[in-house]
Structure 1
Amino acid sequence: MPDSPTFREGLGVIARGIRDEPRTFTLAVLGSALFGAALAGSGWVLGQVTDAVLVPAFELGSVSASDAWAATGAMALVGVLTAVGVIIRRGYATVTQYRLQARYRRAVSRQYLRLPLAWHRRHPTGQLLSNANADVEAAFAIFAPLPFSFGVAVMLVVAGVTMFDADPVLAAVAFTVLPMLVVANAFYQRAMSPRVSRAQQLRADVSDVAHESFEGALVVKTLGRETEETARFSARSHELREANVSVGRARGAFEPVIEALPTIGTLVVLAVGTVRVADGAIAAGVVVQIAYQLTLLAFPVRAIGWVLAELPRSTVGWRRVGAVLAAQGRMTFGATDLPGTREGREVRATGIDHDVVDPDGSTQRLLHGMDLHVPRGSTVAVVGSTGSGKSTLTTVLVRLVDPVAGRVLLDGTDVRDVAAGGLAGTVAYVPQSTFVFDDTIRGNITLGLEDGPLAVGDDEVWAALRAARAEAFVRALPDGLDTRVGERGASLSGGQRQRLAIARALVRRPSVLVLDDATSAVDPTVEQQILAGLRGTDGVTVVVVAYRRSTISLADTVVHVEHGRVTDTGSHTELMARDEAYRNLVEAYARDAAEREQLAAGGTS
């Protein structure tokens, strides 16, 4: 018998699919039943034609026109019914399968959007892509052969009734093949289940490695790691190849046996039938009917084997999809609508603690009781060494993640009480790593604001580009706003991509703008112009993670962060005078910037 847990889980997947697509699945089964009944009935019709037309034709040397037309009409009718059944079965089985796959791809994608960023960080991107694509496809691939197997059941019933009605002895001989087929299929599934499960897991692993390699192509090439990455990918690919070869070997061992059993049964039926015809126990048409029906059953009965073969793959696919759909930790939203304003908002973070969960399940505390106050319309610079918690703080402020303790308030409203989508309408965030889509300049800036009540026109786009100091280089492009920038903005420099990201944020006219080191690739002079311009942009509140002295000096307030804690707050001048750690950090940044400028100019350090 098939592995019981796998078999039960597979039946659960089937039940879920039938429940989700009852109409199309029922039509597929009805078409399959028509096909099965017509195909099994064709054997009975052939037997009748043999006794009524063919045998007399051989004995008498002629056949009447009416008998010939009757035989032709009967065979044609059976053929038409069989063809109609095939069309209905295949058409609606395909619709059922693809609708289920589309339904659950959408469900997985919606779940990805609902789950918090912390959950995504614990799961490799390649695995998530596999969950939404290969795993969903595997989970419901069983619905391709499943309706066929229902038709086979009808075929077995019809064939069994007609065969035993014609000759119980010969029918019993023919049906001894079926238990052997069942046993062979049971061993087949037991051998296939672990092999298919491993192959499905390795498909996800290969996808994960491939995604990492493509994502880190620049790092791989600059560090000369092409050979090592190729070897890493090859190792996983070879594992997948061996797993698929193992699946093929199992099929190669069992399928010839399963193929041979009906053929052997047909030969036995012919041998026994010949003896019975010679004894006068049955007519020749009975032997033709039963042998033909057994031959017909040989291929369709395999459909049951296909269903059993797909069960392990469907089970593994559904386990992986179901794990995503059952994942906990989604963000909850309140019902508060933030009042509309084109002016800045007060931002206050109090007692913020935040943990990160490592892939091994352990947790690390990144923020410890952090407090931050950003008055309305002011600019606050967050300064700290690498790993001090600056970027984590920005993700908490814009609610990409929720803290384990503490609150973030906008004009006194807890961000967790804001209605879904409300925060994105008032807070804009530009991260360290700028992502540019393979689209036009306009498309990268508007990102969905082309139509609807919040649509922005070219005037607003140019104004945002002007504020981000990107207008000049965009106007110099061949097609201006309609210039396509290539995948990840390949045709643009790092500084240009960062300025596009800032323009993307500004075109939404945010009340609060959070920049996580978002101008690091921009020339210092341009960076100063951008930040100076932001201070006069409708009084927007700005939180900027910075390290350049020229940038920090533009801020109204500087917050020094170390080890996930705020160690000092004040103006740049005040912190330089009283905070030695801050002074050393800023001076180190300044020395590093000067050395890089020297190297860029062709000097020596």
Structure 2
Amino acid sequence: DLATAVEESVHGIRVIKAFGRGPHVYAGFSAQAKSLQETEITKAKTLASFLLTVVAVPETILGIGLLIGIAQVANGTLSVGSLVAYFAIAAVIAGPVEGMGMLLGMTLSTKTALDRHFEVMDSINDIDSPAQPRVPAERDGSVKLEHVRFAYPDTAGSHRPILADINLEIRPGETMALVGITGSGKSTLLNLVPRLHEATAGEVLIHGQDVKDWDLQELRTEIAVAFEDTTLFSTSIRGNVLLGAPENLDEQQREALLAEALDVAQAQFAYALPEGVDTLIGEEGLSLSGGQRQRIALARAIAARPSVLVLDDPLSALDVRTEELVTERLREVLAGTTTLIVAHRPSTVMLADRVALLRDGRIDAVGSHAHLLSTNEHYRFVIASLDDEDQPATVEVSR
């Protein structure tokens, strides 16, 4: 259990950080580590006591036998030869008896390992972590980037800027699509908003406050993220979707929120699984198809009820019909949420109120889709490229 928790935390580090679940996961790890420590100590004590008994009982019996034998020899009721013969036989028998005890001790340890093996084969245990309270605050929902620069260090130690001078403002409640050619830095820019990366220069403002001045946990309860490369955890669908949900909801409200999030993401397939939304989905959600995993990740971001929603091409693995249904419902949900969405499909661009064109590390133009199509040649080129990159729909097999 502990190894699985660590592995999943490493694989899902971006999701954990994006939803502000660092302390929550660490507390769960600490509890599991303490439980493992106590179990190992108890096992060692039990095994030591057992082996001590197996070794001590024959030796004690021989010691008692020696005392009785000496008394009987002194009284003339037992000959010295008989006493020696007795101890010779006892010494021959004692070795195998002690060996059987050692073997039995090893068998107990082996049984424990076998029991654990079959537990893992039967199911993957849920990771139970303490809740993290939300910090209530009045927010206006604005997102603003002022003269933001960012560079990844290369192997030579230099810093080549990916984002040279970003100036962008997203109004409260507005949906902004971010488009650009491959490698232009769209996903990097998105990671600056929840402070998964630190801007090299400039300011990223959430609700008018620089993200560097925010408490990280509070910041990440304000922002929900859905990444293109989906990361799920080997818990139930319910646990994955409600990972970042507000903790002050009662059970009925959580169920309503779960149902709404699954409905918006067109993830109703969850109810048809063997145990419904309580079905364990396997390590990293590998029992689900790519489109199903992506819809669960989108539902997780929606269920977080954020004031700012950051989406990195959340519909890339969906077939055309499912994408249309998700798009329709997203328009309703995003109406009151400030949203920044990276678009790799023209259909995703259509979700947005305005579109920002990223070019050469700068925001080249901002406007409606229709306006940019009519006025910006590079935007027309990018949209045409998105059309070319669109792959035929993949039929998902119902599970």
Question: TM-score, normalising length from structure 2?
Answer: 0.61
Q: How far apart in 2 are the matches of 1:525 and 1:422? A: 37
Counterpart among 378, 389, 405 of residue 201 in structure 2: 405
Counterpart among 187, 204, 212 of residue 391 in structure 1: 187
Q: How far apart in 2 are the matches of 1:518 and 1:437? A: 18
Aligned positions of 1:520-539 closer than 5 A: 520-537=316-333, 539=336
Counterpart of 2:382 in structure 1 is 585
Q: Give per-residue Cα distances to partners, 1:135-182, cap 9 Å, x unaligned.
A: xxxxxxxxxxxxxxxxxxxxxxxxxxxxxxxxxxxxxxxxxxxxxxxx
1:421 shift after superposition: 1.0
Q: How far apart in 1 are the matches of 2:307 and 2:371? A: 28
The answer on 1:555 being equivalent to 2:352 is yes
Counterpart of 2:371 in structure 1 is 574
Aligned length: 265
Aligned positions of 1:326-341 closer than 5 A: 339-340=137-138
Counterpart of 2:50 in structure 1 is none
The answer on 1:493 being equivalent to 2:267 is no
1:437 shift after superposition: 1.1
Spell out structure 1 runs of 4+ moving beyond 6 A: none
Instruction: Specify the code of the residue in structure 2 equivalent to 1:480.
Output: G
The answer on 1:438 being equivalent to 2:234 is yes
Counterpart of 1:364 in structure 2 is 160
When Rg is computed on C-alpha atoms for both structures, the one with the higher figure is: 1
Equivalent residues of 1:338, 1:422 under 8 A apart: no
Q: Residues 524, 409 of structure 1: CA spacing in aligned structure 2 closer, same or farther, 3 A cutoff? A: farther
1:448 shift after superposition: 7.0
Q: Give per-residue Cα distances to partners, 1:466-523, cap 9 Å, x unaligned.
A: 12111x2111212111111111111111111111111111111111110011221122
The answer on 1:468 being equivalent to 2:256 is no
Higher relative contact order (CA 8 A, sep 6+): 2
Q: How far apart in 2 are the matches of 1:403 and 1:586? A: 28
Counterpart among 459, 472, 477 of residue 256 in structure 2: 459
Q: Residues 531, 351 of structure 1: CA spacing in aligned structure 2 closer, same or farther, 3 A cutoff? A: farther
Instruction: Specify the code of the residue in structure 1 equivalent to 2:199.
Output: P
Q: How far apart in 1 are the matches of 2:244 and 2:167? A: 35
Counterpart of 2:66 in structure 1 is none
Judging by fraction of residues, say which structure has more helix.
Answer: 1
The answer on 1:597 being equivalent to 2:392 is yes
Counterpart of 1:543 in structure 2 is 340
Q: Residues 578, 355 of structure 1: CA spacing in aligned structure 2 closer, same or farther, 3 A cutoff? A: same
Q: Which moved more, 1:423-432 or 1:452-461?
A: 452-461
Q: Residues 465, 570 of structure 1: CA spacing in aligned structure 2 closer, same or farther, 3 A cutoff? A: same
Q: How far apart in 2 are the matches of 1:543 and 1:481? A: 29
Judging by fraction of residues, say which structure has more strand.
Answer: 2
Q: Give per-residue Cα distances to partners, 1:527-550, cap 9 Å, x unaligned.
A: 343344233326011111012112
Q: Give per-residue Cα distances to partners, 1:298-344, cap 9 Å, x unaligned.
A: xxxxxxxxxxxxxxxxxxxxxxxxxxxxxxxxxxxxxxx77246xx7
Instruction: Specify the code of the residue in structure 2 equivalent to 1:388.
Output: S
Q: Give per-residue Cα distances to partners, 1:383-402, cap 9 Å, x unaligned.
A: 01111010110001121112
1:526 shift after superposition: 2.8
Q: How far apart in 2 are the matches of 1:534 and 1:541? A: 12
Q: How far apart in 2 are the matches of 1:531 and 1:513? A: 15
Equivalent residues of 1:438, 1:484 under 8 A apart: yes
SS at match of 2:146: strand
Q: Residues 449, 509 of structure 1: CA spacing in aligned structure 2 closer, same or farther, 3 A cutoff? A: closer
SS at match of 2:365: strand
Counterpart of 2:144 in structure 1 is 348
Q: How far apart in 1 are the matches of 2:270 and 2:311? A: 22
Equivalent residues of 1:553, 1:572 under 8 A apart: yes
Equivalent residues of 1:449, 1:455 under 8 A apart: no
Equivalent residues of 2:163, 2:189 under 8 A apart: yes
1:446 shift after superposition: 2.0
Counterpart of 2:310 in structure 1 is 514
Q: Give per-residue Cα distances to partners, 1:388-422, cap 9 Å, x unaligned.
A: 01011000112111211111112212222222311
Equivalent residues of 1:381, 1:555 under 8 A apart: yes
Q: Give per-residue Cα distances to partners, 1:440-477, cap 9 Å, x unaligned.
A: 11111223769x5356622221111112111x211121
RMSD of aligned Cα (Å) = 2.8
Q: Residues 386, 455 of structure 1: CA spacing in aligned structure 2 closer, same or farther, 3 A cutoff? A: farther
Q: How far apart in 1 are the matches of 2:331 and 2:392? A: 27
Q: Give per-residue Cα distances to partners, 1:542-574, cap 9 Å, x unaligned.
A: 111012112212311011112221111111111
Equivalent residues of 1:485, 1:492 under 8 A apart: yes
Q: Give per-residue Cα distances to partners, 1:242-292, cap 9 Å, x unaligned.
A: xxxxxxxxxxxxxxxxxxxxxxxxxxxxxxxxxxxxxxxxxxxxxxxxxxx
Unmatched tracts of structure 1, length 5 or more: 1-104, 118-132, 134-336
Instruction: Specify the code of the residue in structure 1 equivalent to 2:188.
Output: T
Q: Residues 449, 552 of structure 1: CA spacing in aligned structure 2 closer, same or farther, 3 A cutoff? A: closer
Equivalent residues of 2:225, 2:309 under 8 A apart: yes
Q: Residues 553, 498 of structure 1: CA spacing in aligned structure 2 closer, same or farther, 3 A cutoff? A: same
SS at match of 2:220: coil
Q: Residues 437, 496 of structure 1: CA spacing in aligned structure 2 closer, same or farther, 3 A cutoff? A: same
